[in-house]
Structure 1
Amino acid sequence: MKVFMIGGTGLLGLEGAKELIRRGHEVSSIALPPIPEGVSLPPGMKLFFGNYMELTDEEIRNFMKGCEGFVFAAGVDERVEGPAPIYDTFYRYNIKPLERLLRIAKEVGVKHAVVLGSFFAYFNRIWKGQKLYDTHPYIRSRVDQANMALSFADENMDVSVLELPYIFGTQPGRKPVWVFLIEQISKMKGSTFYPKGGTAMVTVRQVGQCIAGALERGKGGKNYPVGYFNLTWKEMLTIMHKHMGTPDKRIITIPKFLYRLGMRSIINEYKEKGIEPGLDPIGLVEIMTNRAFIDKKIIVEEMGVKGDDIDKAIGESVRLCMEVLDGKQKTISMKGE
């Protein structure tokens, strides 16, 4: 299958391209420069530098002609903050351009489309009482993005939305999303204070397998909640402490009311700066103190995802974060910063 990808040099897009090429598919991609230092592209991958949002419909059509598969591995994430309404920013980068791309994909005969989304959309469906859609602009945008994408699915084109959780693993020269957390933990002397709860997670290699599996096996229009490992925050932090060289550091679970109190001070900071976050700080307390777990059965049975070493992947992320913080590693930022 010939596959066209938006964002093929990113952490996740590149893993998807590697897996697709390993399976015998052809991959071409357009991506923003530069390629991080130390990154090697998979043999045979055709890469074009540019901003897909600035291309004409005809230029995009030429990229997609002859392709059976399309992957959208671009956009911005929940770390984006800005003037209210911040939803407009998410719409501008995650929804509007994707709608145009899917329209063109259908016009040129693409048969299988895969969109990299967020597991927050999954929890919006199952945690009805939390009203995530109404509370968090970012989650609302991801739900709207998925619904829009799935509206293109019919007998001529399959559309799969991968609802991705927290992801561990690294790309040489690219700043991990976890730098903020490692810096936060490092500043807590003696003990690490964190709320109860936990999350689903996968490795970058597993995301690559999800992308390839969805292109090969996806039928109709479907959201796929992605998760393989379910760890409590304490379990995750224990692994992080080990790779930070502080295996005996205590982890103290802070009560929800205290965590909420800290979030209120963050709200005041946002107000002073005149910006709005993608995730409402008070609403985030309910998410963080819950167990955002996902059964791996879906991605194993429906996309053929294999097991991996999450301890190793977390360790790779932690060590690169520490090198970045120590000024020993020159990196470019992930999308969303």
Structure 2
Amino acid sequence: MKLFMIGGTGLLGSEAAKELISRGHEVTSIALPPLPSGAVLPPKMKIEFGNYLEMTDEEIEAHFAGCEGFIFAAGVDERVEGPAPIYALFKKYNIDPVKRLLRLAKKAGIKHSVILGSYFAYFNRIWPEKELTKWHPYIRSRKDQEDVALSFADEGFDVAVLELPYIFGTQPGRKPVWMFLVESIRNMKWLTLYPRGGTAMVTVRQVGQAIAGAIERNRGGHCYPIGYDNMKWKELLNIAHKYLGCPNKKVVTIPDWLYALGGKKLMKEQKAKNIEGGLNMVKFTELQCSELFIDKSLGCEILGVQQDNIDRAIGDSIELCIDIIDHKVQALGMKGE
């Protein structure tokens, strides 16, 4: 199958391309320059550097020509801050492009499409009483992104939205999302203070398998919660301590109100800078201190995701963070960094 991808040089896009090519598919992609230093892309992937947001419909349609599948592996996540209302930024990068690209893909005769989303949309769906879209612009944007994507699905056009959790694994030259965690642990010399709760997680290799599985197996319009391993924060931190060289460091669980106090301080600092985050960090306490677990039967097993070494993937992420913090390697961050 010939496939077109937006974001083929990113951590997830490049891994998906590797997996898809290994299955006999042909992958072409547009991605923003520069290529991270040291990153190795699948040699058989055809890559064009450019900004799809600046391309005309005709230019994008030319990339769709002859393709059967489309993957959107771009956009921004909840770490982004910007002028209020921040939802406008998420709409620009996560929602409007999906609406435009799926319209063009469908017009061009694409049959299968995959959109990379967030597991926060899954928890918004199963916990309506928490009103997550009311309090968190980012979660609202991911829910709206799903609604837009699924509106295009029909018998001749398959749409899969992958609701991705925290992801471990690395791409040389690109900052892992875990930089803040590693810096925080290092700054707490004797004890690691952290809230209760936990999260679903996958390795980057498993995300590649999920994307390939969605292209090959999904029919119609579906959202797939993706989670293979579920781990309490304390378990995760004990693994992180091992790779940070402090395996005997104690993890102390802080009360919810103390985490909320930190969130209040952060939001006050954002307000002073006239910026806003995608998550209301005071209200987010309830999620952070919950067990955000996903049964692998809901998505991973359906899409053929296989077991992987999550401990080693966590270790790879932690070790790259350390090298970046210690200025041993240079790395690109997300948009705006």
Specify if TM > 0.5.
yes
Equivalent residue number for residue 60 of structure 1 = 60
- Secondary structure of the residue aligned to 1:201 is strand
Work out the CA distance in 1 between the residues paired with 2:164 and 2:313: 16
Residue number in structure 1 paired with 2:154: 154
Alpha-carbon separation, structure 1, partners of 2:184 and 2:104 = 44
CA contact (8 A) 2:232 2:291 kept: yes
Q: What residue is the counterpart of 1:141 in the other structure?
A: 141
State TM-score, norm by structure 1.
0.99
Q: Which runs of 5+ in 1 are unaligned?
A: none
CA apart distance, 1:280:
0.4
Q: Which residue of 1 aligns with 2:95?
A: 95
Verify the 8 A CA contact 2:227 2:300 in the aligned structure 1. Answer: no
Query: Is the 8 Å Cα contact of residues 76 and 94 (structure 1) preserved in structure 2?
Result: yes
Query: Secondary structure of 1:3's partner?
Result: strand
Task: Give the Cα–Cα distance (whole angstroms) in 2 for the partners of residues 255 and 308 of structure 1.
Answer: 33
Shift in Å at residue 259 of structure 1?
A: 1.4
Query: Which SS does the other structure have where 2:39 is aligned?
Result: coil
Partner of 2:241: 241
Partners of 1:271 and 1:108 lie apart in 2 by 45
What is the correspondence of 1:308-323 to structure 2 with a 5 Å cutoff? 308-323=308-323
State the shift of 1:127 in Å. Answer: 1.4
Query: Which residue number in structure 1 is paired with residue 72 of structure 2?
Result: 72
| Residues in 1 aligned to 2:150 and 2:300: alpha-carbon distance in whole angstroms | 22
1:295-318 per-position Cα deviation (integer Å, ceiling 9, x unaligned) = 011334311000000000000000
Q: Which runs of 5+ in 2 are unaligned?
A: none
RMSD: 0.9
- Corresponding position of 2:121: 121
Deviation, structure 1 residue 175:
1.1
The one-letter code sitting in structure 2 at the alignment partner of 1:149 is: A
In the TM superposition, residue 335 of structure 1 has moved relative to its aligned partner by: 4.4
Aligned to 1:270: 270
State the distance in 1 between where 2:152 and 2:176 align. 33
Aligned to 1:281, the other structure's residue is in SS state coil
Deviating beyond 6 angstroms after TM superposition, the runs of 4 or more aligned structure 1 residues are none
Structure 2 equivalent of residue 23 of structure 1: 23
Contact 1:264 1:281 in 2 (8 A): yes
User: In the aligned structure 2, how far is the partner of 1:334 from the partner of 1:216?
Assistant: 29
Gap change, CA 1:300 and 1:121, over 3 Å in 2 = closer
Instruction: Report the Cα distance in structure 1 between the residues aligned to 2:336 and 2:223, rounded to whole angstroms.
Output: 23
- Structure 1 position 189, deviation (Å): 1.1
How much does 1:257 deviate?
1.4
Aligned to 1:283, the other structure's residue is in SS state coil
Secondary structure in 1 matching 2:207: helix
Partner deviation per Cα, 1:134-185 (whole Å, 9 max, x = no partner):
1100000000001000000001100000000000000011111111110011
Paired amino acid for 2:309: D
Find the aligned partners of 1:284 and 1:222 in 2 and give their Cα distance: 27
Amino acid at match of 1:18: K
Q: What's the secondary structure of 1:44's corresponding residue? A: coil
Tell me the secondary structure at the aligned position of residue 282 of structure 1.
coil
Structure 2 length-normalised TM: 0.99
**1:121-141 deviations in Å (ceiling 9; x for gaps):** 000011122110111000000
Which residue does the alignment assign to 2:331?
A: 331
Moved more, 290-299 or 237-246: 290-299
Give the deviation of 1:43 after TM superposition.
2.7
Q: Which moved more, 1:292-301 or 1:177-186?
A: 292-301
- Give yes or no for contact 1:121–1:163 (8 Å, CA) kept in 2: yes
Question: Tell me, what secondary structure is at the counterpart of 2:282?
Answer: helix
Amino acid at match of 1:118: S
For these two proteins, the number of residue pairs brought into alignment is: 337
How far apart in 2 are the matches of 1:108 and 1:274? Answer: 42
String of CA shifts for 1:188-232, please: whole Å, max 9, x gaps: 010000000000000000000000000000010000000000000
How far, CA to CA, are the matches of 1:176 and 1:66 in structure 2? 35
Contact 1:77 1:335 in 2 (8 A): no
> In the alignment, which residue of structure 2 is the partner of 1:169?
169
Determine if contact 2:27/2:46 at 8 Å carries over to the other structure: yes
The 1:209/1:336 distance shift into structure 2, 3 A limit, reads farther
CA offset at residue 263 of structure 1?
1.6
Looking at structure 2, the residues matched to 335 and 111 of structure 1 have their Cα atoms a distance apart, in angstroms, of: 30
Q: Sequence identity of aligned pairs in percent? A: 63
**1:336–1:155 distance in 2 versus 1, CA, 3 Å:** farther
Mapped pair 1:279 → 2:279: yes
Instruction: Give 1:137's aligned amino acid.
Output: P
Q: Secondary structure at the match of 2:156?
A: coil
